[in-house]
């Protein structure tokens, strides 16, 4: 028997009528709730199939006060920050975890004023069951918003200067320290650093790790030379470095993009990597592998970061109280150092 092609979506009432039961029973059958006889459950299932019924998520959301969606908010003053493949990997992880919990993923790039405003509205109106916040900068308005709001919020990476109740982070300090120690263990003594933005906690923490390692080895840390995590800024920083400190023999860059930029500059200056200048990056994304030479870098578990953020949010939505998480990093040694 061919299924009808309904112009309008059938409602639960129509299913109930067709199955010869009340709406309540139909609802219970649909949700696998108890107190439904086998016969009626099957009748409902049949009616659902014949009518091609699909429950209306909006109506369900209104009744249950649960939207069935979680938002991932990427802050930043410029939407292009999102072009960093880092976020795509986070999303892959988060999406998988949300799938398991049957939550949809809403993606908010809070880059423009308008975007930020829409995020605020989303949070205040409970347009989602919870929010994951990423890439917050110092004094980011979203930080304040987050704890004014009556909604589960998980931070991806800690915001500058404060540890929120729930977050997932990676061991930025430890990773940066290990990277720098690796350079030192290679016999490098004039190891400079190309920092990420110092108005982000990741940028600061990675500088601290570098500094710790240098001081620990009895070496003088270089002052922070700040980039903005882009390839260009890495290239520019490296140029400044070569100009100011021509004798530099090692560089730790706070991410792969900047390391790739540094590589480019070093090459253009006619110096060899790693013979003259050894370079270590941070992230271990695709850029590290296609760089020439392939980049020694701090591997961080990016998909796991996304996955754990989502899982933490799901736990929160279910009324649990998970504990913050700091994921380990490890050094991936390749040719550049």
Partner DNA sequence: GCTTCCAGTGGGAGCGCTCCCAAAGCGCCA
Partner DNA sequence: TGGCGCTTTGGGAGCGCTCCCACTGGAAGC
Instruction: Return the closest-CA partner of residue 157 out of 187, 121, 197.
Output: 197
CB 227 within 8 A of CB 234: yes
Q: Determine the straight-line distance between the first and last CA of the chain, rounded to whole angstroms.
A: 68
Contact status: 80 vs DNA (CB under 7 A): no
Q: Is 147 in the site for a copy of itself (CB under 8 A)?
A: no
Spatial CA neighbour of 111 closest among 132, 141, 90:
141
User: Is residue 7 involved in binding DNA (CB under 7 A)?
Assistant: no
Q: For DNA, give the closer residue by CB, 57 or 216.
A: 57
Q: Name the minimum Å distance from CB 134 to a copy of itself.
A: 13
Q: Rule CB under 8 A: which of 257-296 touch a copy of itself?
A: 257, 260-261, 263-264, 267, 286-287, 289-292
Instruction: Choose which of 1, 2, 7, 65 interacts with DNA (CB under 7 A).
Output: 65
- Our CB check for DNA shows the closer of 65 and 114 to be 65
Q: Quick one: which of 182, 179, 183 has its CA closest to 205?
A: 179
Is the CB of residue 327 less than 8 Å from the CB of residue 168? yes
CA distance 321 to 216: 38
3-state secondary structure of 66: coil
For residue 43, give the H/E element and its range.
helix 38-51
192: enclosing H helix or E strand: strand 191-195
Contact 204, 136 (CB under 8 A): no
Between 22 and 162, name the residue whose CB sits nearer to DNA: 22
Asked if 307 interacts with a copy of itself (CB under 8 A), we say no
Query: What's the closest the beta carbon of residue 1 comes to a copy of itself, in angstroms?
Result: 18
Among 18, 25, 73, 156, binds DNA (CB under 7 A): 25
Site string for a copy of itself, 24-53 (x = CB under 8 A): ----------------------------x-
Q: Which residue has the tokens 């994951």?
A: 132
Dist. CA 43–CA 65, nearest whole Å: 29
Angle among Cα 216, 266, 293 to the nearest 5 degrees reads: 85
What is the nearest approach in angstroms of DNA to the Cβ of residue 315?
A: 19
CA distances in angstroms from 292 to 125, 193, 251, 330, listed in the order given: 49, 20, 16, 21
11 binds, among DNA, a copy of itself, none (CB under 5 to 8 A by kind): DNA
Q: Residue 217 contacts by C-beta under 8 Å, 6 or more apart in sequence?
A: 181, 184
Q: How far is the CB of 62 from a copy of itself (least distance, A)?
A: 5
Confirm or reject binding of residue 333 to a copy of itself (CB under 8 A): no
The C-alpha atoms of residue 254 and residue 201 are separated, in whole angstroms, by 12
The answer to whether 88 contacts a copy of itself (rule: CB under 8 A) is yes
> Which residue in 24, 31, 37, 125 binds a copy of itself (CB under 8 A)?
125
Residue 183: both structure tokens together: 């350079």
Binder to a copy of itself among 18, 19, 127, 205 (CB under 8 A)?
A: 127
Which residue's CB is nearer to DNA, number 69 or number 326? 69
329 forms part of the interface with a copy of itself (CB under 8 A): no
* Site for DNA, residues 234 to 293, rule: CB under 7 A: none
Tokens coding 33: 């709730």
292 contact choice in a copy of itself, DNA, none (CB below 5 to 8 Å, kind-dependent): a copy of itself
Please, are residues 298 and 329 in contact by the beta-carbon 8 Å criterion?
yes
Residue with tokens 């709730």: 33
Q: Residues in the site for DNA, rule: CB under 7 A?
A: 8-9, 11-13, 21-25, 27-28, 30-31, 33-40, 53, 55-56, 59-60, 62-65
Q: Residues in the site for a copy of itself, rule: CB under 8 A?
A: 9, 52, 54-59, 61-62, 67, 69, 79-80, 82-85, 87-89, 91-92, 95-96, 99, 102, 104-109, 112, 114-115, 118, 121-122, 124-127, 150, 231, 257, 260-261, 263-264, 267, 286-287, 289-292
């Amino acid at each position: 028997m061919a299924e009808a092609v309904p112009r309008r979506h059938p409602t639960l009432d129509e299913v109930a009528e067709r199955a010869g039961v009340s709406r309540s029973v139909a609802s219970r059958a649909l949700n696998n709730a108890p107190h439904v006889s086998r016969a009626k459950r099957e009748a409902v299932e049949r009616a659902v199939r014949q009518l091609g019924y699909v429950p209306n998520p909006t109506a369900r959301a209104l009744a249950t006060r649960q939207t069935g969606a979680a938002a991932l908010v990427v802050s930043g003053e410029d939407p292009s920050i999102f072009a960093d493949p880092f976020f795509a990997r986070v999303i892959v992880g988060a999406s998988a975890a949300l799938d398991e919990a049957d939550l949809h993923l809403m993606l908010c790039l809070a880059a423009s004023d308008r975007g930020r405003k829409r995020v605020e509205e989303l949070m205040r109106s409970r347009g989602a069951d919870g929010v994951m916040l990423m890439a917050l900068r110092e004094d980011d308005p979203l930080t304040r918003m987050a704890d004014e709001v009556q909604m589960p919020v998980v931070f991806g990476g800690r915001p500058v200067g404060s540890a929120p109740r729930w977050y997932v982070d990676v061991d930025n300090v430890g990773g940066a320290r290990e990277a720098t120690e690796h350079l030192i263990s290679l016999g490098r003594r004039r190891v400079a650093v190309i920092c990420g933005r110092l108005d982000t906690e990741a940028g600061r923490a990675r500088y601290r790790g570098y500094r710790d390692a240098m001081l620990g080895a009895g070496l003088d840390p270089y002052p922070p030379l700040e980039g903005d995590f882009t390839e260009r800024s890495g290239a520019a920083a490296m140029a400044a470095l070569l100009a100011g400190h021509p004798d530099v023999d090692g560089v730790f860059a706070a991410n792969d993009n900047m390391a790739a930029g540094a590589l480019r500059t070093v090459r253009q200056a006619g110096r060899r990597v790693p013979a003259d200048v050894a370079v270590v990056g941070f992230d271990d994304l695709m850029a590290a592998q296609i760089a020439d030479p392939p980049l020694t870098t701090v591997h961080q578990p990016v998909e796991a970061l996304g996955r754990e953020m989502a899982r933490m949010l799901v736990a929160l939505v279910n009324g649990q109280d998970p504990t913050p998480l700091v994921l380990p990093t490890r050094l991936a040694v390749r040719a550049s150092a």
